[in-house]
Amino acid sequence: MSKVSIIGASGTVGRYAALAISRIPNMSEVLLFGRAHSHAMLEGIKRDLLDSSAATGIPTKVKYSSDILDLAESDIVIITAGVPRRPDQDRFDLASQNAWVVAEYSKKIADVAPEALIMVVTNPVDIMTSVALEYSGKDKHHVFGLGTHLDSMRLKSLIAEQYHVHVSEVHTRIIGEHGESMVPLWSATTIGGIQLANLPQFSKPDYESLLETVKKTGQKIIEGRGATEWGPGEAIATIVRVILGNENRILTLAAYVSQEINGIGGVCIGVPVYINRSGVHPVEIHIEEEEAIAFKASVARVKKATEEMMTMLEEKKNGWL
Ligand code: NAP
């Protein structure tokens, strides 16, 4: 029986994630954590979730709170708190605003829930994962971010649509930044277990156009319906299920990489990780030279922004943290 807490549960991503997580069997509790001014919203979400549980027949205890002590004994704490981007913004634009929120909560989580894994969703997610790792002081295997998991899912569904195959026949991976410099691993993209290049029946995909579509998907969703919700919410719930079920899967999440990918690393960024109850473990892989060059550039971009953010937090933290 497991307890999962969501910080930012009154927001779009947090509340849908709560719904998706409440459907995972053997959950002892979903804790909706939010600020006091959002209690009416949290009460509403709780009631709606209980109705949903009654309809599905999956009983899950749902609570809400603004008291940090209530995070105690969480198996996983998910941070979705922070401002989302507007359609005209890059995810990096949110960094300085959201870093304070993530740093403060990470520190508190470590105090009250020392055993919990921390999953960061707040953008820019790669930088925020480094902030959470630093300010929680937790082991690098216990702090991770949503990374390029959602981007990988987006590419998977585009390929399935283009080739008229069931989505579960497609395996693919995007590594690097959850943003402009993401790197698709075409060398690891298969349909029915067979590499794209070895499938003469399928025409060669327009790699550039597929990648551009993936990069713009979030922006298109925000322009169209105001926010991304079901995609990230389901992705978060999948990760929770994998951890609690000790499924030993390999997902593409933001984790601290030393040099597992062609010797490149030194920051939190999207990479394939082996994930189970014990946390995330980057998987050592060798990639094509072109992919390695692009990954190196992505790492450099994220590293620079992460270092700037850490310096900013360090300089101004007195009185805040
Ligand atoms: P939202 O609907 O505006 O919700 C924001 C949530 O954060 C609310 O619960 C809000 O609480 C809380 N919050 C905001 N500022 C806070 C602060 N200073 N202290 C404590 N809590 C604060 O946004 P959203 O669409 O859910 O997105 C949330 C975050 O997830 C954004 O950063 C977004 O970019 C990111 N995101 C990431 C991915 C990914 O793939 N990594 C995907 C989608 C979204 P109140 O109700 O108290 O204001």
Distances (CA, A) of 90 to 11, 85, 87, 110, 303: 20, 7, 8, 30, 16
Among the listed residues 135, 83, 82, the one whose alpha carbon sits nearest the alpha carbon of residue 109: 135
pLDDT at 200: 86
CA of 223 to the centre of ligand 1 (A): 17
Distances (CA, A) of 154 to 119, 167, 216, 217: 20, 10, 10, 8
pLDDT at 320: 65
SS3 (DSSP) at 304: helix
Catalytic residue among 39, 149, 178, 281: 178
- State which ligand 1 atom lies nearest to the alpha carbon of 41: 46
pLDDT at 315: 87
Give the pairing of strands 143-145 and 117-120: parallel
Strand ordering across the sheet containing 279-282: 61-65, 27-33, 2-7, 76-79, 117-120, 143-145, 249-257, 267-276, 279-282
User: What is the C-alpha radius of gyration for the chain, rounded to an integer number of angstroms?
Assistant: 19
Among the listed residues 174, 169, 150, 149, the one whose alpha carbon sits nearest the alpha carbon of residue 159: 169
Dihedral (C-alpha) 84, 81, 212, 260: value to the nearest 10 degrees?
150
pLDDT at 294: 97
Going by CA atoms, what residue is nearest to atom 4 of ligand 1?
Answer: 11
- State which ligand 1 atom lies nearest to the alpha carbon of 35: 47
pLDDT at 57: 92
CA of 303 to the centre of ligand 1 (A): 23
Going by CA atoms, what residue is nearest to atom 33 of ligand 1?
Answer: 84
- The sign of the torsion formed by the CA atoms of 16, 219, 298, 306 equals negative
The reply to whether 178 belongs to the active site is yes
Q: Is residue 107 within 8 Å of residue 134, measured between CB atoms?
A: no
What the block records as the tokens of 75 is 């198996």
CA of 312 to the centre of ligand 1 (A): 21
pLDDT at 83: 92
Distances (CA, A) of 181 to 164, 285, 291, 294: 28, 19, 11, 8
- State which ligand 1 atom lies nearest to the alpha carbon of 34: 47
- Per-residue b/e over 260-292, b at no fewer than 16 CB within 10 Å? bbbebbebbbbbbbebeeebbbbbebebeeebb
CA of 81 to the centre of ligand 1 (A): 4
Going by CA atoms, what residue is nearest to atom 29 of ligand 1?
Answer: 122
Please choose from 10, 41, 42 the residue to mutate so as to test ligand 1's pocket, defined by most ligand atoms within 8 A of CB.
10
Tens digit of pLDDT per residue, the chain (321 long)?
899 999 999 999 999 999 999 999 888 899 999 999 999 999 999 999 999 999 999 989 999 999 999 999 999 999 999 998 888 888 888 888 899 999 999 999 999 999 999 999 999 999 999 999 999 999 999 999 999 999 999 999 999 999 999 999 999 999 999 999 999 999 999 999 999 889 988 878 889 999 999 999 999 999 999 999 999 999 999 999 999 999 999 999 999 999 888 888 899 999 999 999 999 999 999 999 999 999 999 999 999 999 999 999 998 877 666
CA distance 14 to 34: 10
Q: Which residues line ligand 1 (CB under 6 A)?
A: 8, 10-14, 34-35, 37-38, 80-85, 94, 98, 101, 121-123, 125, 146, 150, 178, 227-228, 232
Could you tell me the pTM of the whole model? 0.96
Going by CA atoms, what residue is nearest to atom 5 of ligand 1?
Answer: 11
pLDDT at 272: 97
């919700």: which residue's tokens? Answer: 229
pLDDT at 259: 84
- State which ligand 1 atom lies nearest to the alpha carbon of 147: 41
CA distance 139 to 289: 31
CA of 122 to the centre of ligand 1 (A): 6
